[in-house]
Amino acid sequence: MDSEALRKYSALHPKPAGLTLQYGTAGFRTRAEQLDHIVFRMGLLAVLRSKAVTATIGIMVTASHNPEEDNGVKLVDPLGEMLHPSWEEYATQLANAEQEELEKVITEICQKAAVNLNKDASVFIGRDTRPSSKKLSQSVIDGIQVLGGQYHDYGLVTTPQLHYMVCCQNTQGQYGKATLEGYYEKLSKAFMELIKQSHCSGESQRHLKIDCANGIGALKLSEMKPYFPQEVLIHIYNDGTKEKLNHLCGADFVKVHQKPPGGLDMKPNERCCSFDGDADRIVYFYKDTAGHFHLIDGDKIATLISIFLKELLAKVKQDFKMAVVQTAYANGNSTRYLQETLKVPVHCVKTGVKHLHHKAQEFDVGVYFEANGHGTVLFSKAAETKIRQLVKEEKDDEKREAAKMLGNMIDLINQTVGDAVSDMLVIEAILALKGLTVQQWDALYADLPNRLLKVQVADRRVIDTTDAERRALTPPGLQEKIDALVKKYKLSRAFVRPSGTEDVVRIYAEADTQENADVLAHEVSLAVFHLAGGKGAPPQP
């Protein structure tokens, strides 16, 4: 390690006094002006991680659905998955180390993680369209170069595209070509093959309006347009030329406010969707003839995909294990529909993509989506191999056709991470193949009315949960109180969980009517306020 270069460069990226940040599910996120030292140090860490696992590591500069003034950085592990939890700790240590301790902390990480500094290192870099992203990715490069790593800067890409490139690189091209063209070609080819098998006619089916959150999704969809078949007419809105990133638009805005984004005019029954700022989440929506807004969130996306895959799996007659993975935030009626009507096993895990992804890996076909629209489908190696074999060798026409569709689905889905572009194409293909309108899809089940609230507390750690965050262990008496409140309403449930990032407790309630869901959420928030050390005035209804 060149101590002199490390000292010189870290002085160019000084750490503001008294700032401590923690590496969470989304990496580091904060105001852009506080991030320079962090991204420089994540450049260092990416080199160490690459040397530790002898593979290419990704580093993405983005703050996803946060306001434009924020930015963030996260690392991508060799198969396109999120950074290993043990290394999240190293990231936090390195980010918060004082200038003069930097070399010592690096040496400690090398000892703990058995890093051989003489090995080669390779890092792929990507960034979103925020004004601060270009300069920050330059600081990442400084960090990589100080420790002698090689890098490839992809420039402007969606977060899922960077995950995809890293996976392609480390599977020696088995997963695909590690270029944007490779990504566009693989997805569009699989999509065209699927659409070919559809018998759906009528223009209206194939028009889609897309709100790109004034972010990177607009740029990349425009690049991908030439690869799409003629029948697919995508109309891009909020493309970043006029308005600010994520301002009054994007998947997060639409989901939280339950209303259409600005900058997009909707006619009744038109299919529309929204990406988030870095294009790893998607939600659909439409307006009915009476002018009512309808949101189709991650739960309903998972349901549509599950219906389609279950039908195909039944046709290939293999003993594949399929399951859906949700969090406690999934609407109760989606869980009921999947379990009781579709007869698909549903598993509930703690909030956070890494928990969903991990659980989904236990099945031959694991579908996971968060209600916010982030999700994907994972296929086991064994299932994929068997499906590819059936395509080649199966004599029975129906079985072979179903296997071919499954093979194309495997190619169309970005299995590394939730990907708005890929998920959109999966949904569009399924709707065309099943001849479904957006209203028919929405009508599979009605969401139970629900309400999300948050209560400020002095210390969020007083709340400890169990059963995938659905029950509170502490403070004493809180869960009993919630149980008693829930009993008062039909089809109701409620849970509380501490935020991962701030001293607030999040409350979710659902019931048979919106009025009951609102009252239940309020009553639970009062219980949290009184039993868990609420701050300020008690919550008002």
Domain that includes residue 212, residue range: 206-447
- Evaluate whether residue 405 is within a structural domain: yes
Marked catalytic residue, from 10, 50, 64, 137: 64
- Measured CA to CA, the distance from residue 378 to residue 405 in angstroms comes to 16
Task: Decide which of 156, 189, 223 is a domain's last residue.
Answer: 156
Q: Dihedral, CA atoms, 60, 61, 65, 66, nearest 10 degrees?
A: 150
Report pLDDT digits (tens) over 266-322: 999 999 999 999 999 999 999 999 999 999 999 999 999 999 999 999 999 999 999
- Evaluate whether residue 79 is within a structural domain: yes
Q: Do 441 and 494 share a domain, yes or no?
A: no
- Evaluate whether residue 133 is within a structural domain: yes
Specify the higher pLDDT residue, 96 or 26: 96
Q: Is 153 annotated as a binding residue?
A: no
Q: Which residue has the tokens 């994540």?
A: 42
pLDDT surpassing 80 at residue 470: yes
pLDDT value of residue 1: 83
User: What does the block give as tokens for 267?
Assistant: 């006619």
pLDDT surpassing 50 at residue 430: yes
Q: Is 278 annotated as a binding residue?
A: yes
pLDDT value of residue 527: 96
Q: Do 282 and 327 share a domain, yes or no?
A: yes
State what percent of residues in the chain have pLDDT above 70: 99
pLDDT value of residue 26: 85
pLDDT value of residue 13: 97
pLDDT-derived band at 352 (thresholds 50, 70, 90) equals confident
- Measured CA to CA, the distance from residue 26 to residue 364 in angstroms comes to 27
Q: Is 64 annotated as a binding residue?
A: yes
CATH value at residue 519: 3.30.310.50
Task: Decide which of 429, 447, 465 is a domain's last residue.
Answer: 447
pLDDT surpassing 90 at residue 414: yes
Domain count, the chain: 3
pTM of this prediction?
0.94
pLDDT value of residue 204: 45
Report pLDDT digits (tens) over 154-201: 999 999 999 999 999 999 999 999 999 999 999 999 999 998 877 655
Among 29-33, 54-58, 361-365, the least confident range = 29-33
Q: Do 141 and 260 share a domain, yes or no?
A: no
Report pLDDT digits (tens) over 220-234: 999 999 998 877 889
What are the angstrom distances between the C-alpha of 289 and each of 141, 263, 531? 53, 20, 46
- Measured CA to CA, the distance from residue 387 to residue 405 in angstroms comes to 10
Sheet holding 322-327, edge to edge: 346-349, 322-327, 365-369, 375-379
pLDDT surpassing 60 at residue 108: yes
Active site residue 422: no
Q: Do 102 and 129 share a domain, yes or no?
A: yes
Task: Decide which of 394, 420, 447 is a domain's last residue.
Answer: 447
Q: Do 380 and 312 share a domain, yes or no?
A: yes
User: What does the block give as tokens for 279?
Assistant: 């294009």
pLDDT value of residue 196: 85
pLDDT-derived band at 364 (thresholds 50, 70, 90) equals very high
Closest CA to 126 of 94, 152, 96: 152
pLDDT value of residue 70: 94
pLDDT value of residue 232: 81
Q: Do 326 and 366 share a domain, yes or no?
A: yes
- Measured CA to CA, the distance from residue 286 to residue 110 in angstroms comes to 53
- Evaluate whether residue 319 is within a structural domain: yes
Q: Is 411 annotated as a binding residue?
A: no
- Evaluate whether residue 328 is within a structural domain: yes
Q: Is 239 annotated as a binding residue?
A: no
Report pLDDT digits (tens) over 123-149: 999 999 999 999 999 999 999 999 999
Q: Do 459 and 329 share a domain, yes or no?
A: no
In three-state secondary structure terms, 133 is: helix
- Evaluate whether residue 169 is within a structural domain: no
Closest CA to 521 of 466, 458, 463, 448: 448
Q: Is residue 528 a contact partner of residue 516, using CB atoms and an 8 Å limit?
A: no
Q: Do 39 and 145 share a domain, yes or no?
A: yes
Closest CA to 534 of 467, 460, 457: 457
Q: Do 433 and 491 share a domain, yes or no?
A: no
pLDDT value of residue 500: 74
pLDDT value of residue 78: 97
- Evaluate whether residue 184 is within a structural domain: no
pLDDT-derived band at 152 (thresholds 50, 70, 90) equals very high
pLDDT value of residue 201: 52
pLDDT surpassing 80 at residue 501: no
Q: Is residue 47 a contact partner of residue 143, using CB atoms and an 8 Å limit?
A: yes
What are the angstrom distances between the C-alpha of 264 and each of 66, 208, 237, 260? 20, 12, 6, 8
Report pLDDT digits (tens) over 438-465: 999 999 999 999 999 999 999 989 999 9
Q: Is 459 annotated as a binding residue?
A: no
Q: Do 235 and 379 share a domain, yes or no?
A: yes
Q: Is 297 annotated as a binding residue?
A: no
CATH value at residue 75: 3.40.120.10
Closest CA to 364 of 376, 378, 375: 378
Q: Do 490 and 388 share a domain, yes or no?
A: no
Q: Is 130 annotated as a binding residue?
A: no
- Evaluate whether residue 539 is within a structural domain: no
pLDDT average, residue stretch 345-361: 94
Quick count: other Cβ atoms within 10 Å of Cβ 100? 9
Phi, psi of 346, rounded to the nearest 5 degrees: -120, 135
Q: Do 234 and 362 share a domain, yes or no?
A: yes
